[in-house]
Structure 1
């Protein structure tokens, strides 16, 4: 009963803390402007199934895709056993699924063990790729101490959890063979059998090892759950809604601003009367000027660096890194949310995403080629944020690079980007 009581307290505290932190992130996301992403639900469900569940965009890098698939599938399926552990903890039972599943139980446990060793091996390889091979896309100006440590913490945690799972099964199996206590014979242990000889032969010691690993595994899972809201690995949960709410328009298609469209219509048709609209800001200076989907993108970013690795601006030495754009957006909206919690919703810290986090040099380096959007495995769109911030600089501040200002002036005066008047536009075609 004491064990059950402790389990209830730990489980309740873990669920409460996760719910509280997840609600805070939801609040931060909803600080963004409204945008409709609920049309064509059938197509959206298909995209989510293909991209988030099927991980179709991961296959562009086959080695990483296979390793990630092992971790993804293994960790998800092994958590079926976590359900059994939860039920055992609540009711003080042991391997509660063994009786209703019968002979299938052995198949399940055996499959879980094979997946566990694949997860463990994949995480070791990922650690080697990051810390020994030091692949280029895991480096960059934005990859400071915390992002690097965050990735390592998760990989080490998964290795420890899988090790505890296999050791728990090995001790359990030996106790079953000794017919000790409530350890009924159930399950198949193709991997943990190799660990068995390393464990003590004494039944009491084995029971301690089994219980220690049992508690370590479940507390580790609950701690992992509560670490997610502070980590890039929150994409484990957000990848599904983020892909569902993907932008279904063709890549490169920009949305017209209603206020600008009304101005153009009024110029072309003096009788046009625009509908009354609330005055707003052109483009985005801070995170609250972005849409809630842009902010969800930021919280979904996996920091994998695929976007930055294909960015032509970054490849040619420019300061722009699409990954940094997303990380800076996430850091800023988190800061805004924290300020609201500490000082009230009307508090202003006199900071903004533009200039305080993202420089103008970064924004103007973008070629708008959409390579980053195409490369992202969870359909994040850094380009939307870049374009919104550029729009603010041009339309609110009238600030742009000299080459663009020349183009704007020529377009205004000559009806084309070039310096020639419309009357002289076809001079090149005239025969001498």
Structure 2
């Protein structure tokens, strides 16, 4: 019977990890649909930023309650899952608590795990209350209706269940040790290391040993199967940031916020215009093929760069960006969070198209208009509040600006107010409709 359980465990482990690897490969493929961008500079500064923001959670604690709770859940979940290594070894080789030979240090680890399991459970319950009962403004956006709201709750329920299974497994194990059951009593050296489940085990003291073994094994199997399920669920959830926050922060911009990136294609055009010896009608050099003119800006996910697409997958949907957005706060349709969610949804749609057809086949849809409305793009004040607010270095503004560039430079579709301002700049050297000679008349009138 034991060998059957070991074989079954190995099959479950291979299936879970295999499906995870498949999803990660699809994720990387989708991100690589974007334009390449070089962010390999200043490795030391990038690692320092990643350690401070992604690992150290420095921007999370700007909202102390949510930040501290998030750190507890984040650290607790990672620390507790160190035990997964022991579970895997026990499952493959049929052992029980294989690391118990470490004695007092193992006792400390188990006690530490249980302490954090309780904190994680309490933290997740508080998160659920805040999200569903407190009606926090940033959790009430129209983009969070339906699946996004359900997804957030599913994760919270799942974390509660995983922590409950962990403590139930330990409580049954503890009671079996007290009863001197073979295979459990052999680990009698760890009897004192269950500070939380030790309070639960009295609920089991009237149960027979076979029943306790069933409870312990069921909780053990459900716990490890739940971990593998959770690992694969991440790809379909906003909690993908658990994996992507680190590379996302590492590859984020190091340049000052608000610095406008020049388009290489525009620079080439300007350089050509400024070169008195250049012939704009000259044929391409021998051996150089004349391709299609480079596209200005972005109308679909293919036009965005790979870091922007990584941003979309990393978005936690926390809404801190939208909560800080002045356009959103004044009732306009713009929500930086929705920009990222729409980009991810469109990218996933393109990915499914490739999965189905082997390569992308034009579906007649675009990120612009089909997902993100022009009204949203032009509501942005480019204040960078969303970029500053994001706890993991996501940059919604860069996507907004690239799509604006497309509208202006490809479609000449700027709003009338902006078109008038640009015409005035061209004619008058200023955005106002006054002749340059009359520009200082206001000063004369106020003498």
Calculate the TM-score normalised by the size of structure 1: 0.97
Provide the rounded CA distance (Å) in 2 between the counterparts of 1:336 and 1:346: 7
Equivalent residue, structure 2, for 1:196: 201
Equivalent residue, structure 2, for 1:315: 329
- Structure 1 residues without counterparts, runs of 5 or longer: none
User: Do the aligned partners of 2:321 and 2:336 also contact (CA within 8 Å) in 1?
Assistant: yes
User: Do the aligned partners of 2:350 and 2:360 also contact (CA within 8 Å) in 1?
Assistant: no
Higher mean C-alpha deviation, range 291-300 or range 130-139: 130-139
Provide the rounded CA distance (Å) in 2 between the counterparts of 1:59 and 1:273: 57
User: Do the aligned partners of 1:265 and 1:272 also contact (CA within 8 Å) in 2?
Assistant: no
Equivalent residue, structure 1, for 2:231: 225
TM-superposed CA distance for 1:272, in Å, is: 5.8
User: Do the aligned partners of 1:326 and 1:382 also contact (CA within 8 Å) in 2?
Assistant: yes
Q: Secondary structure at the match of 1:36?
A: coil
Equivalent residue, structure 2, for 1:104: 105
Equivalent residue, structure 2, for 1:150: 151
TM-superposed CA distance for 1:342, in Å, is: 1.0
Q: Secondary structure at the match of 2:98?
A: coil
Q: What are the residue-to-residue correspondences of 1:28-427 with 2, within 5 Å? A: 28-99=30-101, 101-183=102-184, 184-187=187-190, 188-199=193-204, 200-271=206-277, 279-427=293-441
TM-superposed CA distance for 1:96, in Å, is: 0.4
User: Do the aligned partners of 1:310 and 1:375 also contact (CA within 8 Å) in 2?
Assistant: yes
Gap change, CA 1:324 and 1:97, over 3 Å in 2: same
Gap change, CA 1:172 and 1:273, over 3 Å in 2: farther
TM-superposed CA distance for 1:74, in Å, is: 0.4
TM-superposed CA distance for 1:425, in Å, is: 3.0
User: Do the aligned partners of 1:301 and 1:380 also contact (CA within 8 Å) in 2?
Assistant: yes
Provide the rounded CA distance (Å) in 2 between the counterparts of 1:242 and 1:262: 30
Q: Secondary structure at the match of 2:155?
A: helix
TM-superposed CA distance for 1:255, in Å, is: 0.8
Q: Secondary structure at the match of 1:369?
A: coil
User: Do the aligned partners of 2:257 and 2:384 also contact (CA within 8 Å) in 1?
Assistant: yes
User: Do the aligned partners of 2:353 and 2:360 also contact (CA within 8 Å) in 1?
Assistant: no
Provide the rounded CA distance (Å) in 1 between the counterparts of 2:266 and 2:198: 70
Q: Secondary structure at the match of 1:137?
A: helix
- Structure 2 residues without counterparts, runs of 5 or longer: none
User: Do the aligned partners of 2:60 and 2:391 also contact (CA within 8 Å) in 1?
Assistant: yes
User: Do the aligned partners of 1:113 and 1:190 also contact (CA within 8 Å) in 2?
Assistant: yes
Provide the rounded CA distance (Å) in 2 between the counterparts of 1:21 and 1:247: 27
| CA distances 1:386-415 after superposition (whole Å, capped 9, x unpaired) | 000000000000011111000111122222
User: Do the aligned partners of 2:138 and 2:318 also contact (CA within 8 Å) in 1?
Assistant: yes
Provide the rounded CA distance (Å) in 2 between the counterparts of 1:342 and 1:246: 32
Q: Secondary structure at the match of 1:195?
A: helix
TM-superposed CA distance for 1:245, in Å, is: 0.2
Gap change, CA 1:268 and 1:413, over 3 Å in 2: farther
Provide the rounded CA distance (Å) in 2 between the counterparts of 1:417 and 1:263: 24
User: Do the aligned partners of 1:137 and 1:306 also contact (CA within 8 Å) in 2?
Assistant: yes
| CA distances 1:336-361 after superposition (whole Å, capped 9, x unpaired) | 11111112324000100000000000
Gap change, CA 1:423 and 1:268, over 3 Å in 2: farther
User: Do the aligned partners of 1:105 and 1:186 also contact (CA within 8 Å) in 2?
Assistant: no
TM-superposed CA distance for 1:270, in Å, is: 2.0
User: Do the aligned partners of 2:309 and 2:343 also contact (CA within 8 Å) in 1?
Assistant: yes
User: Do the aligned partners of 1:242 and 1:297 also contact (CA within 8 Å) in 2?
Assistant: yes
User: Do the aligned partners of 2:304 and 2:399 also contact (CA within 8 Å) in 1?
Assistant: yes
TM-superposed CA distance for 1:139, in Å, is: 1.3
TM-superposed CA distance for 1:203, in Å, is: 1.3
TM-superposed CA distance for 1:267, in Å, is: 3.8
Higher mean C-alpha deviation, range 338-347 or range 367-376: 338-347
User: Do the aligned partners of 1:310 and 1:372 also contact (CA within 8 Å) in 2?
Assistant: yes
TM-superposed CA distance for 1:94, in Å, is: 0.5
Provide the rounded CA distance (Å) in 2 between the counterparts of 1:2 and 1:346: 44
Is 2:21 the partner of 1:16? no
Provide the rounded CA distance (Å) in 2 between the counterparts of 1:158 and 1:192: 17
